[in-house]
Amino acid sequence: MRKNMVENAESNGYKILAVDDEQGIVDSLSIFLKRSGYDFTGVTDPVQAIELVKNEHFDMLILDFMMYPLHGDQVVEEIRKFNKELYILLLTGHKDLAPPLETIRKLDIQGYCEKSDKFDQLLLLIESGIKSIEQMNEIKKINAELKDTQDQLEKAFLESIQTLRYTVEAKDPYTRGHSDRVSEYSVLIGKKLGLSDQDLKTLQIGGLFHDIGKIGVPDSILLKEDKLSDDEYSQIKNHPSIGAHILSNATIFKDIIPIVLHHHEKYNGHGYPSQLAGEDIPYFARIAAVADTFDAMTSKRPYRNALPKEVVVEEIEKNKGTQFDPKIADAFLDILKDEYDKIEEIQEKYPS
């Protein structure tokens, strides 16, 4: 080990445990992460890693997939029996050696990347994970401080929503106005479908919060005006899962998590992150998907102007039954036909 030769950066307070049966990898991670300010522990024995997680607090676990005597997914399976919250990143020697996507989802592994002699991609994943952990810690703090009365619960609920929303809006200028409009459009659709006041409130809050996971997307990708690479687009596609993970520890957010997690699913099963299809997609998420796509088409973006109403109507018609729930799409098309003044009021209130 060369740890005595490493000039550590000032600690940022976050503890990372890494396990890899190659001592050289552990040593390299130690140097790299300590220089980045992390409190690092590295081991080569996966069984020892499980015991460390049982007996100590770590904010993040980085582990190799192919190890002896336990593979990485077996290590995670054991850890998830007693720790559901630990943020986990998996390293693979090659994409072909990564565990199946179903396993990654089942074990709640937040991300994985290929091993490399350079750690740039890994550092981006770690930084994104730390941002998510920061938000989870803040939500835990809020949840712990909530009182039993309904008024106090409501007040803390709204304050926490606004605090996190403003964090994302400061990071991503496109989100300013977008989330407000998606929220309002979702409520319009909900009213058209005859939903209850409580359901409308869930749609409203879910719309405001649907892109909160962008807090975990690197700024270099989120703010990029050129076309994204496949790898960058894959990281953008993580934002629903990141958002759901951020909110998962607060019971006050349980009703809106399906919106946050599944608003990019498609009716034909070709969406993300779970490739759900038809009525397997949560109902409110299907509503938010229509509202979100409509706003994307009618907002000016760096690479194109807002699309005219007739083109948008044509696109929604064309994608009924493939991208959108047909009944929800029809309800929104009725709004565009008969109540377009309400759409214009929302756009004037929250300009893009």
227 is catalytic: no
Report CA dihedral (185, 186, 187, 188) to the nearest 10 degrees: 50
Q: Which two tokens stand for residue 309?
A: 């109403």
Q: Which two tokens stand for residue 330?
A: 């029809």
Chain centroid to Cα 46, Å, comes to 28
For residues 91 and 98, what is the distance between their CA atoms, to the nearest angstrom?
8
Helix (H, G, I), strand (E, B) or coil at 290: helix
Burial-class residue 162 by CB neighbours within 10 Å (0-12, 13-18, 19+).
exposed
Which member of 15, 131, 155, 214 is catalytic? 214
Buried (b) or exposed (e) across 70-95, using 16+ Cβ within 10 A?
bbbbebbebbbeebeebbbbbbbeee
69 phi-psi bin (left φ>0, alpha ψ -120 to 50, beta other):
alpha
For residues 347 and 298, what is the distance between their CA atoms, to the nearest angstrom?
9
Other C-beta atoms lying within 10 Å of the C-beta of residue 327: 11
206 phi-psi bin (left φ>0, alpha ψ -120 to 50, beta other):
alpha
Q: Which two tokens stand for residue 269?
A: 């099963």
What letter does residue 304 receive in the DSSP assignment?
B
Active site residue ranges: 214
